[in-house]
Amino acid sequence: MSDVKPFLLEIGVEEIPHWMIVPALGELERLFRDLCTANQLETGNVAMDGTARRLVIRCAALTTRQADRDELVMGPPKSAGPGAAMGFAKKNGVTADDLATEVTPRGEYYALRRAIAGRETSDILAEALPALIAKIPWPKAMYWTGKGETTFIRPIRWIVALLGDSIVDFTLAAVKSGALSRGHRRMGSDEIAFDHANYEDRLEKNGVILSAAKRRKRIQDGIKKLLKGTGLTLIPDEALLTDLVYLTEFPTPILGSFDEKFLALPQEVLSMVMRHHQRYFTVQDSAGNMAPRFVAIMNIKADKKGYVVKGNERVLEARFNDARFFWDQDQHKKLADRVDDLAAVTFQAKLGSYFEKRLGVEAGATRIARELGLDEAAIRRAAMLCKTDLMTEMVKEFTDLQGIMGGLYAKAQGEPEIVWRAMYDHYKPLSMDGPIPATVEGRVLSMADKFDSLEGCFALGMIPTGSKDPLGLRRAAQGIVKILVEGRIRLNLDKFITAGAEETSRIFLCERKAGYVENRGSDGSLELAKQLRDFMTERVKYYFRDVRGFAYDEISAVLAANPPDLVDVEARLRALKMVRQTEDFLPLAASFKRIGNILKQAGRPGGAVSESLLEPGAEKDLYQDMTRVLARVQQLRQSDDYIQALLAVSTLRPAVDNFFDSVLVNAPDAAVRQNRLALLGQLFSEVSSIADFSEIVTSSTSE
């Protein structure tokens, strides 16, 4: 048993941006564990903690010294003779007498065994830690002690490195490791002596709650206490809570108020100001209306004199006044009068202005509206106005309100509900977890906007590669897929993409858009359409696999059947996923794979089945079962009932098994053989039009 001691490393830094702390701790832990593994050091339990001012590693029981070990260095084969042995010995600083012989499957070899003394852990750490700390990757680091020196996110101001009671001695960026920690900037000492057992307590007495979980709980409990008996509830905001946990070392919530007159402003604007500019939580009354109150989180223990509440209230009022100024100012010019102004705002350097973009959105939205039988005029109006809010002061100030403000201004300016709601929602979904637009018109507009970006960028060769996707085209395509499926929009994607690509090509040629070259394949189809289709197909697969959790083979099987739209794809996937659990399905799928191979070998013969050529017994039984089942399947598919359809197909298993057990497809008589192939061919093509079963991984194919 080797000796173990607790180890602690505290890197004291000027305030690290809150969002970088958790990833940095993860990297630090990985680097540290790798170091220990590479040096055969056991760590015991490793705990990682971080606040804005410190990154901490604590090991419960770190080996204090590496174990001694034997090293075996293999030399030349014995057959090489004593000369080779001497050379090998000399190279290793020993004489030939020190060499041993090792027997290996390839023969006898000279070898050198030597004892390596284990090193002291404190030496290993002292040597490795400076480089290890410097290796933590940061999104934007600087050098602090001179050009070419160590870069770090902010200046390192102190380092504690203790193995047991001894300091692990090293220097990094002009900071020497020591034994003293520091407390909260204003509530703690700058020289805190501690031992491993009382570290957290000592920090807490100096105004630092080390554990993020404890800080989170202190915020949550504090808010509960503040709101108790007020009839108000907090609108939960996990992301904001996490930000505040890492912005503070000793968080304490306070409850502030603002003048009710500001509630006349849209709630979206008020929340945005509170959330993004001030990091306040929003509070609502029992009826779910926003209350004229807010919760702010301080980085001190208490606001005894109420100065902090008062200060925050004053700041918020000034911010709300600004917002009201923007709101009033923006009303002076209607959105409809701002359409021409869009020419002055660049959408993308090569693609042009938002004025051009909105034309593309309008064309796409109109096409979808026509396809789906929606109110074309309303959707065209929404498309025309949807980008005009970029010209408003409010959106210039609060860019995250784009779309939302357009909707709100359109509403205030008397646009019909169908129009303003579509505008309001047209950037949604903002993420794969976020909601899609609430109305079908909003969905159409959102898709048209995204398609327009895709078409334009792809046409000019701006296609995402690897992890590079500066224009967010993957996310746009993903959004389209999500809207189509979850919005249950029955749009034929292929057809739409082809039409969109043709339109884009026509316009770009007409405008002589710089950088656009029309490429068509030998069949006359646009290369652009193919690229877009491939890109979308990838996104469709990603969505169903990673977002919805369907298996890869299920997706391949369904897509191979070429369903008309993504709503249909989803229905088939659900059915396939469910039916594959039933006992007959996988064996049947295996048989289909076999049928597929037989047909392929036979050169995919066509032809109708001639009943008179069927042999009584298994062959005739299969034919009759098949005819009955396929008729039923046809009927079920009329109502998109894929579950029942697949279950019906599954009932064919005994007949199929029986057929293969007792019937030889490759019959000597050519007519009989052709007839049997026709029988299998009919079965295969009918069933494959739901999902290509031969794509399904069965146990026999995975072996």
Partner 1 sequence: MDSYQETIFKLKRFWAKHGCVIQEPYDIEVGAGTMCPETFLRVLGPKPYSVAYVQPSRRPADGRYGENPNRLYKHSQLQVILKPAPANVMDLYLESLEAVGIRLDQHDLKFEEDNWESPTLGAWGIGWQVMLDGLEVTQFTYFQQCGGVDLDLVPAELTYGLERLVAFLQDRKSVYDIEWVAGTSYRDVRFRDEQQFSVYNFEKADVKMLWQLFDLHEKEAQRLIDEYRSLDPEKEGTEKRRWPLLSAYDHVLNCSHSFNLLDARGAISVTERVGVIARVRKLAVGVATSWVDQQALLNAPEVAA
Return residues touching partner 1 (CB under 8 A). Answer: 14-15, 17-19, 52, 140, 142-147, 153-155, 157, 185-187, 247-248, 278, 296, 298-300, 303-305, 307-308, 310-312, 314-318, 321-322, 325, 344-346, 349
Nearer to partner 1, 306 or 564 (CB): 306
> How many CA atoms lie less than 13 Å away from 255 in the CB half-sphere?
17
- In the bound state with partner 1, the residue whose beta carbon lies nearer, of 29 and 322, is 322
Residue located via tokens 């053989």:
673
What is the DSSP-derived secondary structure letter of residue 343?
Answer: G
115 strand-pairing partners = 70
CB-wise, 44 or 178, nearer to partner 1?
A: 178
In this structure, what DSSP letter does residue 93 have? T
Q: Rounded distance, CA 389 to CA 406, Å? A: 5
Q: Residue 346 CB, nearest distance to partner 1 (Å)?
A: 5
Nearer to partner 1 by Cβ, of 187 and 571: the residue is: 187
Nearest residue (CB) to partner 1, 296 versus 691: 296
**Six token digits for residue 56:** 């901490």
What is the closest distance, in whole angstroms, from the C-beta atom of residue 214 to partner 1 in the complex?
Answer: 19
- Least Å distance, CB 311 to partner 1, is 3
Residue (52 or 270) nearer to partner 1, CB: 52
- Residues 177 and 54: their CA atoms lie apart, in Å, by 14
CB proximity list for 237: less than 8 A, separation 6 or greater = 275, 281, 282
Shortest approach of partner 1 to residue 492 CB, angstroms? 38
Intra-chain end-to-end CA distance of the chain, in Å: 46
Beta strands in 201-242 (DSSP E): 233-234
Residues 6+ apart with CB under 8 A from 390: 342, 345, 354, 396, 402
Indicate the residue among 187 and 432 with the shorter CB distance to partner 1. 187
CB of 457 to partner 1, least distance (A): 18
Distance CA(268)–CA(288), nearest Å, equals 14
Least spacing, CB of residue 118 vs partner 1, in Å: 38
**Residue placing its CB nearer to partner 1 in the complex, 188 or 479:** 188
CB of 299 to partner 1, least distance (A): 6
Q: How far is the CB of 256 from partner 1 (least distance, A)?
A: 9
Residue 570 buriedness (CB in 10 A; 0-12 / 13-18 / 19+):
buried
Min CB(187)–partner 1 separation in Å: 8
In angstroms, give the least distance from the CB of 455 to partner 1. 22
Assess contact for 484 and 507: CB atoms under 8 A: no
Q: How far is CA 595 from CA 457, 473, 653, 655, in A?
A: 44, 41, 13, 14
Q: How far apart are CA 401 and CA 390, in angstroms?
A: 10
Amino acid at 656: V
b vs e for 632-657, b when ≥16 Cβ sit within 10 Å of the residue's Cβ? ebeebeeeebbbbbbbbbbebbebbb
Would you say 314 or 488 has its CB closer to partner 1? 314
Is 122 or 248 the residue whose CB approaches partner 1 more closely? Answer: 248
Phi, psi of 182 (to 5 degrees): -125, 150
